[in-house]
Amino acid sequence: MTETLIRMEGVSKQFTKGVLAVQDMSLSINRGDFVSLLGPSGCGKSTALKMIAGLLPVTAGKIAVAQPTTKSEQDLGFVFQEPTLMPWASVFDNVWLPLRLAGNDRKAAGDRIRAALTEVGLSRFETSYPRELSGGMKMRVSIARALVTRPRILLMDEPFAALDEMTRMKLNNDVLRLAAEHALTVVFVTHSVFESVYLSNRVVVMAARPGRVAADVTIDEPWPRDESFRTSEKYVQECNKVSAILKSTLNMDDIDH
């Protein structure tokens, strides 16, 4: 039986300045799904993600996020486009934050913090400060911080957009591995067709002005994927398919102007 963890029904978001950022968006995300939100800049991807996280109120419609079954600190992890670390705190203390806010002291949280850092390959950098890390390492800290509460749902807003291609591919594989190991349900925002097809079993293509769902494409390939998928015929086909859909929404957009 598939369990729906996130359900959006006719969700719209109108900012006070009059921008209709998201219009009538409906989406069901099941347990274990890896869903990418793909679309051009300004189509409301971040807005949608923030509404799911409860950071922005909806103007119309409804969002239901499943309540945690076991008592945990936080059932939802959020990774921003920027690493969003506290520059005055060490790597250890940055990852501690979610547990700390839930009332765990350093010692009680220690094992989980170290486990999360090991999972992203940063166990040797506990005492480093963010400024001493590369962009990719900072992003890993950010991911460790999101995972430290053992959430079921992981929301990621263009996490790797600012990184170079090699680092990005490596982190893509890390995210796939972590998502599979922890049976995470992931909503992953991206600009990149290649990234979305590689990572997800569903690509939700969004169109801009107003932001809305243009297509919901299932990538019906074995999951989790590995590097061999990148060079396969299937991958190219799926990318072409998604690209074509994305392009058609852009054309509609051009006519609007």
Partner 1 sequence: MATSQSTTSAGIRTWLAGAAAPVGLGVILLVIWQASVTYYAVPHYVLPSPVRIAKALAEDWATLGLSLLSTLRVTFVALFLAVTLGVMLAILLTQWRWLERSLLPYAVVLQVTPIVSLAPLIIIWVGDIQVALLICAWLVAFFPILSNTILGLNSADHNLVDLFEVYGATRWQKLVLLRLPASMPYFLGGLKISGGLALIGAVVAEFVAGTGGSGSGLAFRILESGYQLRIPRMFAALILISITGIAIYLVTNWISWLILHRWHESALKREV
Ligand X SMILES: Nc1ncnc2c1ncn2[C@@H]1O[C@H](COP(=O)(O)OP(=O)(O)OP(=O)(O)O)[C@@H](O)[C@H]1O
Q: Which residues bind ligand X (CB under 6 A)?
A: 15, 17, 19, 21, 39, 41-47, 191, 211
- Looking at beta carbons only, is 104 or 249 nearer to ligand X? 249
- Looking at beta carbons only, is 31 or 191 nearer to ligand X? 191
| Among positions 6, 43, 92, 130, the unique one binding partner 1 when judged by CB under 8 A | 130
Residue 178 touches which of Mg ion, partner 1, ligand X, none (CB < 5 to 8 A by kind)? Answer: none
Return the C-alpha torsion angle 17, 19, 24, 30, nearest 10.
-90
Residues numbered 44 to 63 that lie near Mg ion (CB under 5 A) are 46
Buried b (16+ CB within 10 A) or exposed e, 8-29: beebbbeeeeeebbbbbbebeb
Q: How far apart are CA 252 and CA 257, in angstroms?
A: 9
Q: How far apart are CA 39 and CA 254, in angstroms?
A: 15
- Looking at beta carbons only, is 111 or 256 nearer to ligand X? 256
| Strands lying side by side in the sheet with 20-30 | 20-30, 4-14, 60-65
121 binds partner 1 (CB under 8 A): no
Task: Supply the minimum distance, in Å, between the C-beta of residue 45 and Mg ion.
Answer: 5
> Measuring CA to CA, how many Å separate 134 from each of 75, 90, 118, 163, 197?
29, 14, 17, 10, 27
- Looking at beta carbons only, is 10 or 42 nearer to ligand X? 42
- Looking at beta carbons only, is 153 or 208 nearer to partner 1? 153
Q: How far apart are CA 249 and CA 208, in angstroms?
A: 8
Size of the site for partner 1 (CB under 8 A): 23
150 binds partner 1 (CB under 8 A): no
| Among positions 32, 66, 129, 161, the unique one binding partner 1 when judged by CB under 8 A | 129
- State the residues that interact with partner 1 by CB under 8 A: 50, 53-55, 73-74, 76, 78, 80, 82, 84, 86-89, 97-98, 100-102, 129-131
